[in-house]
Amino acid sequence: MDDIILREISLIVIPFIQMYGLYIILHGHLSPGGGFAGGMVLGLSMVLFVLVHGAERTLKKISHDAATVVESLGTAWYIVIGLVGMAKGATFLMNQGAGINVGTPGQLLSSGLILLITAGVGVKVASTILTLFMALIEEDH
Amino acid sequence: MRGLLMLALAGVIVFALAGAVAELPAYGRPNPTHNLVYERYVEAGVRETGAVNVVTQIIVDYRAYDTLIETTVLFAAIASVLLLNRAVRKDGGRHG
Amino acid sequence: MDWSALLRNYPYAVSLVLFGLGIHTVLARPNLLIKLIGLNIMQCGVFLFLVATGNLAGARPPIIDPAQPNGVYANPLPTALILTGIVVSVSVTAFALGLIVQVHRMYGTIDPTAIVAAYRQQKGAAE
């Protein structure tokens, strides 16, 4: 879509949308939201970029393989975080029961592994949305 | 004709479900979902996980296995879409 | 039967309306994409119903203020479980969209009746 208003406005708006998505992901344990909702906002900001600037320019910034790798690493990251509980002598995915310091409730850096898991899930969902959209709009070569 | 038949079918389903909804406990009054599990999560959740948002406590701590499999479902869906895309392209669009 | 309970349980009644709209769309429309949208509307009805069961009159949202933790909170459990349902619905939608794209690539149409006709024609041509 070649329209100067769309191009300029989208470049102004996209950073704010991504900032909001990161805010939702990182405040998942403090306010409504979390990995899935924030990841969706992040992914949809990239979909907006694809819609306005075209697939060619997006693939220059984020290649297809990079998005797929990040997406696979999201699931692996979850399992690695789960193994932390086992390494400390408790069960899989154990948080406070494994002796991890959960900090003061209400602070940004609190709740132990929840913050790490939420961040991983958010990145994974964002790259899933982007990969899916790119796969569906691909032309027949 | 077919449209009328489908409308009637949907109407019958909605009517049957409306009968069930009319018999439910009133909205906002205690119903069987408000039980000991919910009270335990609200009372002890902050102390046990350190997160303030109870929904996040449940999905990422108490029921973290659930969320792990959930991300696997998302992964399987996207993998099958990509696989389907490539398989059909290799086939040249002919149907086998 | 006391039908005025439908007004009292208005979120359940709204979810019922959404479910009915969705199921009619799935049954009556001859376009696979619109059928998929109907399926999503149906899922929205189910999610709204289950989330609405978690409410209590006068309850606060289940985000606990560490300074004053006492009080009535809405039930977070249905919301947390519905999150799983929403992710599954996104996955189903994604896979269905992928299938629809491939069906369109093969047969050039997304009308189920026309797809069957095109399939029979191709099969006849192959034999």
Q: What is the mean pLDDT of each run of 10 residues along chain A (141 residues)?
A: 86 94 90 89 93 86 86 89 85 79 78 86 91 80 44
In chain A, residues 50-89 whose CB comes closer than 8 Å to chain B: 68, 71-72, 74-75, 78-79, 82
Residue B96: pLDDT over 70:
no
| A99 in reach of chain B (CB within 8 A) | no
Q: Tell me, what's the pLDDT at B94?
A: 53
Among B46, B56, B78, beta carbon nearest to A131: B78
| A78 in reach of chain C (CB within 8 A) | no
CB contact under 8 A, B54 and C63: yes
Q: Tell me, what's the pLDDT at A17?
A: 95
The CA radius of gyration of chain A, in Å to the nearest whole number, is 18
Q: Tell me, what's the pLDDT at A140?
A: 52
| A36 in reach of chain C (CB within 8 A) | yes
pLDDT (tens digit per residue) in A40-75: 999 999 999 999 988 888 888 888 888 889 888 988
Test the B interface: residue of A31, A72, A75, A129 with most B CBs within 10 Å: A75
User: Which helix H or strand E contains B3, and what residues bound it?
Assistant: helix B2-22
Q: Tell me, what's the pLDDT at A141?
A: 44
Between CA A3 and CA A11, with CA A9 as vertex, the angle to 5 degrees is 105
pLDDT tens by residue, chain C, 127 residues: 677 888 888 889 999 999 999 999 999 888 999 999 999 999 999 999 999 988 888 888 888 887 777 788 888 899 999 999 999 999 999 999 989 988 888 888 888 888 899 889 888 888 7
B86 and C108 Cβ atoms separated by less than 8 Å: no
B42 and B54 Cβ atoms separated by less than 8 Å: yes
All partners of chain C with 3 or more CB pairs under 8 angstroms = A, B
CB contact under 8 A, B21 and C77: no
pTM of the model: 0.87
Higher pLDDT, C69 or B66: B66
Phi/psi region, residue C71 (left: phi>0; alpha: psi -120 to 50; beta: rest), is left
In chain C, residues 1-60 whose CB comes closer than 8 Å to chain A: none
What does C10-56 look like in DSSP terms, one character per residue?
HHHHHHHHHHHHHHHHHHH---HHHHHHHHHHHHHHHHHHHHHTT--
| B85 in reach of chain A (CB within 8 A) | yes
CB contact under 8 A, C92 and B77: yes
Test the C interface: residue of A111, A136, A138, A140 with most C CBs within 10 Å: A136
Phi, psi of A3 (to 5 degrees): -145, 125
Task: Write down the ipTM of this complex.
Answer: 0.83
Q: Which two tokens stand for residue A130?
A: 């982007």
Residues 6+ apart with CB under 8 A from B96: none
In chain C, residues 94-123 whose CB comes closer than 8 Å to chain B: 94-95, 97-99, 101-102, 105-107, 119, 122
Chain B residues touching residue C96 (CB < 8 angstroms)? none
The one-character DSSP state at B25 is P
Between CA C103 and CA C111, with CA C106 as vertex, the angle to 5 degrees is 45
| B23 in reach of chain C (CB within 8 A) | yes
- What is the nearest CA distance from A36 to chain C, expressed in angstroms? 8
CB contact under 8 A, A136 and C97: yes
B80 and A135 Cβ atoms separated by less than 8 Å: no
Q: Tell me, what's the pLDDT at B29?
A: 84
Chain A residues touching residue C94 (CB < 8 angstroms)? 132
A122 and A44 Cβ atoms separated by less than 8 Å: no
| A18 in reach of chain B (CB within 8 A) | no
Residue B93: pLDDT over 70:
no
The one-character DSSP state at B53 is B
Q: What is the number of H-type helices and E-type strands within chain C?
A: 5, 0
Q: Which residue do the tokens 């390494």 mark?
A: A87
